[in-house]
Homo-oligomer: A and B are copies of this chain.
């Protein structure tokens, strides 16, 4: 196994950071790594807002659902879908389609994962902050995003001040299908639920009593950020 794969397989989200800053050369490498990622039709539809202002960080931590590490991490990057760039170059561009939002979301994931892995390969840690979408409109205003540009998620980066275990994932036999979709292997889910019960009960912080099935499907029975569709529509990015 090579060191890239070791880095990938060792991933844990890091939510506690030391006060050590990320130096500018490291940050440049992290950003270059993100930019080197594949881009759908080379459209390059992502902007990154690096938030260095302490007051804005504090506001974002609150808007993300009181996630204090958004304020405390050495760096905080916000990944946005950005078709404003293309509109500025050519005002005949029509970015009003679901498809283009999908391109933006996939490409942001690809780019951000390059940034995170580059950081992790240097001994840094980080965590994705989807919670920015809890209050997408307010985050948008705080970052002064123009029309045709929308907030997707943030990423905290810094030197880890914790050493959490790698969290068990669904087994490959559940995730991977061959040639056509296979129905769910409920036996494998039951085993995974048991594994996660043990993981949650035994981990060093935030212990809880919950199986994966209960936890995720409980969450999915609730309404999930119903304001996102009107938000994307208001930015000209969801529906035709």
Contact = CB atoms under 8 A, between A and B. Distances in A.
Interface of A: 1-5, 7-9, 11, 13, 28-29, 31-44, 46-53, 56, 80, 83-86, 88-90, 92-95, 97-103, 105-114, 116-118, 120-122, 127-128, 130, 133, 142-146, 149, 152-153, 166-167, 169-170, 172, 174-181, 183-184, 186, 189, 212-213, 215-226, 228-229, 232, 238-240
A32 B98 CA distance: 31
Nearest to A56: B179
Contacts of A2: 3, 121-122
Contact of A128 (B38, B43, B80, B94): B38
Given A181-B47, A229-B98, A36 B224 contact: no
Tell me how many chains of this kind the complex includes. Answer: 2
A52 B145 CA distance: 44
A104 to B, nearest CB: 8
A177 B4 contact: no
B92 A41 contact: no
Nearest to A4: B121
A35 B170 contact: yes
B86 A149 contact: no
A184 B88 contact: yes
A117 B175 contact: no
Contacts of A1: 29
Nearest to A48: B176
14 contacts: A5-B33, A5-B118, A8-B114, A9-B36, A39-B169, A49-B177, A51-B179, A90-B213, A94-B220, A99-B225, A106-B108, A110-B113, A143-B180, A239-B239
